[in-house]
Amino acid sequence: MKSNKATAALSIALAVAVMTMPELAFAQATGGGGQMAGVVTWLVSNIGKPMLYAGIIMIAFLLLGGRISLPTVAMVAAGGLVLANYGAIAGFFAF
């Protein structure tokens, strides 16, 4: 077994090594124009946007489909606002 001093020294050395590493960039497939740029563009335009729009519209219909009561009227109003502004809501997701 290692002693507590050895474990502490290893932990400190590992923390210093991690902190001195350069900040790694996430995969930027569309930024460099590499092979994956076309695939990412196709996935976002043909799968991502329609799924996002369908989800937003589905939530709007779920909010609109309530029974008559004061909270339900508020839900219907919220659903109408979501349905009317689904394009702006999708814009928040940077599509």
Q: Which two tokens stand for residue 93?
A: 């997701």
Question: Angle CA(30)–CA(34)–CA(38) in degrees, nearest 5?
Answer: 60
Question: What's the one-letter identity of residue 68?
Answer: I
Please state the pTM of the whole predicted model. Answer: 0.39
Higher model confidence: residue 86 or residue 31?
Answer: 86
Asked whether the predicted pLDDT for residue 3 surpasses 70, the reply is: yes
Sequence-ordered list of residues with C-beta below 8 angstroms from that of 79, at least 6 positions apart, any chain: 59, 60, 61, 62, 63, 64, 65
Q: What is the pLDDT of residue 29?
A: 45
